[in-house]
Chain A
Amino acid sequence: MKIKTLVAALAIGFAGLAGAQNTGPVKLGFITDMSSLYADIDGPAGAEMVRWAAQDFGGKVLNRPIEVLVADHQNKADVASSKAREWIDKDGLSMLIGGTSSGTAIAMSKVTTEKKRPFIAIGAGSARLTNEDCSPYSIHYAYDTVALAKVAGNALVKAGNKNWFFLTADYAFGYSLEGDATAVVKANGGTVVGSVRHPLNASDFSSFLLQAQSSKAQILALANAGGDFTNAMKAAKEFGITKTMKVAGLLVFINDVHSLGLANTEGLQLADSWYWNQDDASRKFAQRFFAKYKRMPSSLHAADYSAASNYLKAVQTAGTTDADKVMATLKSMQFNDFYTKGKIRADGRMIHDMYLFQVKSQKESTTPWDYYKTIAKVPGEQAFTTVAESKCSLLKK
């Protein structure tokens, strides 16, 4: 009797694993930081954007209902990776969208590559996803640190700001931001007059800023993010650094600007993939977001919606949720929605236009959240890692 139950259990288990993928609902997974450091720029609102995309698509694709699974990885790679694995093994997940934190994105991409499911990384910044860790199943959709550095670096040096000083967060992410930007600055004929590394989560930047000021550089580049960025900005204003140097943030989202206020950020240069006020279609999306959340969407929220919609379109076109076919379709599509007009390259990198924005002064800002003016638009081929520079094996044929 026990053996029969054992066999039955195993059989049901296998059936469950094998069957779910090709019939039943099309399940989209979304795992991001819902509760800590990055919850505002992506978080629960991002999850809702994926749901909106599903609803706006009609709730069904290929006559199968669309289901959205959501989880909080709490910035822990093992939670992200186990959830992804569980959803694929037990729930028949079709596709995974990854949110903020590069560590979790890389971990999730390993799972999706192993199990052959499409993975769209949106919130994470590490360019490793399309270089050392590239995969035929991963797409890096929104931005990456190389693009941010190139856009800011290029545009600013060309505008005459040749001398740079870096204030860098002392960990891998900070170094890569600084490294990418330094390469760009030098390539454009600029010089890095100095740099200083601050410990992660430092609360006081006064001493580092003093060093920056005495360097007499034209640009103070902040190679840090989140709380470090906001504290550094505040201190820069407090110590009058902003009067003698232009400040460039290498990873800034509109939520950071909002929480600091225009008084603290006016004149700040930053790169991003999208701004809510850049055209009518974007504004329409933004107003819908504002109606629900009483704040404007960040570029990540827009990317979440866009990625989910385009995935569903690809599934429709390919006629299946099979990962290989859908990935091929996605890489052949020419996108045209309010978020992106680009294309996905063989290494999974979305090549689309990036922008250099400058934060308006309080006088220039006429409506709430009217924070940016566009300084430059950088075409995708110039903004992202070029094929020659890439370390991804998929590009070397």
Chain B
Amino acid sequence: MVNKKVLIIEDEESVLKVLSTKFTHEGFTVFEARDGEEGLELALKEKPDLIMLDVVMPRMDGLTMLKKLREDVWGKKVPVMILTNLSDDKNIAEAMIGGVYDFLVKSSWDIEDVIKRAKERLNLS
């Protein structure tokens, strides 16, 4: 049991389910959100130890959500990992300014890698 809370914000149902299942299996407590608005609300309420954030989403996109999150005293410091398959430089630059810990391109990573990086970030490995 790692006893850590992770919030996954992702509109793609299958990716969300895969991540959620895997993190749960690894002993995390998982919260799920399907757009930026829902994600922000849940983040501020549950104060997770780590946030996995998709970029392209309906209602509120990931980068807008991130900007709002960083305005919060608690949200300023929470580690955020960006999940996306858009690999254009502008998004990366924006995410860096937002103080994101890690940047991932979805199609190129393996699920084990995500778990590994998440654990590293939380000093669990």
Q: Do A and B come from one complex?
A: no
Residues of A within 8 A of B (CB): none
